[in-house]
């Protein structure tokens, strides 16, 4: 599967039905909802990437949140992980505003694009190996299309880091927060803990070390 540009990928992803378990799950979540979002219409489809198509920074997450991006239809929008991400992007001049609650809130990214290794919210945030393989074509195509312009890639979480390394055939790289790899023929790779509630609520990921990831990326681009 080949795409001519990011816009074509973004249009194709919501129509994807390659993973029956995930399509069924996101549909059920969108129908049942949760009490606090009972009055909202859920997106309930695979979620495309979001951001500046000329970006030199690519941010790769795991998957949409069941009541975050699966509800709003935009990556990292409408949940706690997104609050952390967009605030950090705003403080490092990659985002136009510090919070993102809906895909119609006017948020714009500057020189940054957000993607994920899986485009449907998986049960318990655990996509299967087959589901990761099914979805890999979209990230592979984003990387191919953006290759000439990309300077920095940030992988949020071990699974995103390992998937990126698998696609790029990078061997022997160790995952750790703010581990940074400069390579001659590829973008600089920065590994980061994911800003999930499991990490932020327990203190495993604190604000300053998190913000340092994006300050490092900004410094590399300057």
97 occurs within a structural domain = yes
**Would you state the pLDDT for residue 1?**
80
pLDDT values of the chain reduced to their tens digit, one per residue, 222 residues:
899 999 999 999 999 999 999 999 999 999 999 999 999 999 999 999 999 999 999 999 999 999 999 999 999 999 999 999 999 999 999 999 999 999 999 999 999 999 999 999 999 999 999 999 999 999 999 999 999 999 999 999 999 999 999 999 999 999 999 999 999 999 999 999 999 999 999 999 999 999 999 999 999 999
The domain that holds 79 is classified in CATH as: 3.40.470.10
Q: Over the Cα atoms of the chain, what is R_g?
A: 16
**What's the structural domain count of the chain?**
1
**What are the residues whose beta carbons fall under 8 Å from the beta carbon of 59, sequence distance 6 or more?**
85, 112, 113, 114, 115, 153, 154, 156
For residue 45, the enclosing domain spans 6-221
117 occurs within a structural domain = yes
Helix (H, G, I), strand (E, B) or coil at 62: coil
- State the helix-helix crossing angle for 129-146 and 158-168, rounded to 10 degrees: 60
How far apart are alpha carbons 203 and 190 in whole angstroms? 20
1 occurs within a structural domain = no
**Would you state the pLDDT for residue 103?**
93
Global pTM value = 0.97
91 occurs within a structural domain = yes
């Amino acid at each position: 599967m080949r795409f001519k540009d990011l816009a074509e990928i973004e249009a194709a992803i919501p129509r994807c039905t390659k993973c029956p378990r995930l399509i069924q799950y996101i549909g059920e979540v969108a129908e049942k909802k949760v009490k606090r979002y009972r009055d909202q219409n859920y997106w309930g489809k695979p979620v495309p990437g979001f951001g500046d198509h000329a970006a030199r920074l690519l941010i790769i997450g795991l998957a949409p949140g069941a009541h975050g991006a699966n509800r709003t239809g935009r990556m990292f929008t409408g949940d706690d992980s997104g609050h952390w991400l967009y605030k950090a992007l705003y403080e490092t001049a990659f985002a136009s505003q510090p919070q993102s609650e809906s895909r119609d809130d006017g948020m714009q990214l500057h020189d940054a694009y957000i993607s994920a290794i899986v485009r449907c919210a998986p049960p318990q945030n655990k996509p299967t190996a087959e589901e990761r393989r099914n979805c890999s074509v979209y990230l592979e195509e984003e990387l191919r299309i953006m290759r000439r312009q990309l300077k920095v890639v940030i992988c949020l979480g071990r699974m995103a880091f390992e998937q990126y390394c698998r696609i790029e055939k990078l061997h022997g790289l160790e995952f750790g927060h703010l581990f940074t790899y400069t390579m001659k023929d590829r973008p600089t790779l920065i590994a980061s803990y994911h800003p999930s509630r499991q990490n932020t609520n327990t203190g495993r990921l604190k604000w300053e070390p998190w913000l340092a990831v994006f300050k490092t990326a900004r410094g590399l681009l300057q």
